Amino acid sequence: MKKRLFRLSLLMMAAVLILMAGCSINDYDEEMLIGRWYATDGYYYVFHSDHTGESYNDEGSLNFTWNLSSDELELRFTGSGQAGKTAYLTFVIDKLTDSKMEAYDMNDPDEETIYFTKK
């Protein structure tokens, strides 16, 4: 009986370790975000060390505050969006280096990758 219980506990521990390894979350250094990035979605994003920033394209610009939590980069745009609601954009980062980033918009049902290059 003790052997069986021991084997069962080993099996459960192995299963937990496998599950934990498969669910790892990347923690990225927010210092790598500081600077000006061009994205394939047609926007430039500027991240400042005080957690403020701007996004702009040919049509204009918007100010935002940003927060990096694990692999989620949330942009909270200053002002109000539709019907007085604050506008948010959350990128889920797949890869981040000092000069390149790959991410997708959490609210994009197709989860198309957006490529960022630091300028």
Question: Which pLDDT belongs to residue 67?
Answer: 96
Q: Which domains does the chain have, with CATH numbers?
A: 26-118 (2.40.128.280)
What average pLDDT score do residues 72-89 get?
76
108 C-beta neighbours (distance < 10 Å), count: 13
Q: What pTM does this model have?
A: 0.73
- Is pLDDT larger for residue 16 or for residue 72? 72
Q: Over the stretch 21-65, which tens digit does the pLDDT of each residue have?
A: 445 467 889 999 999 999 999 999 999 999 999 999 988 888 999
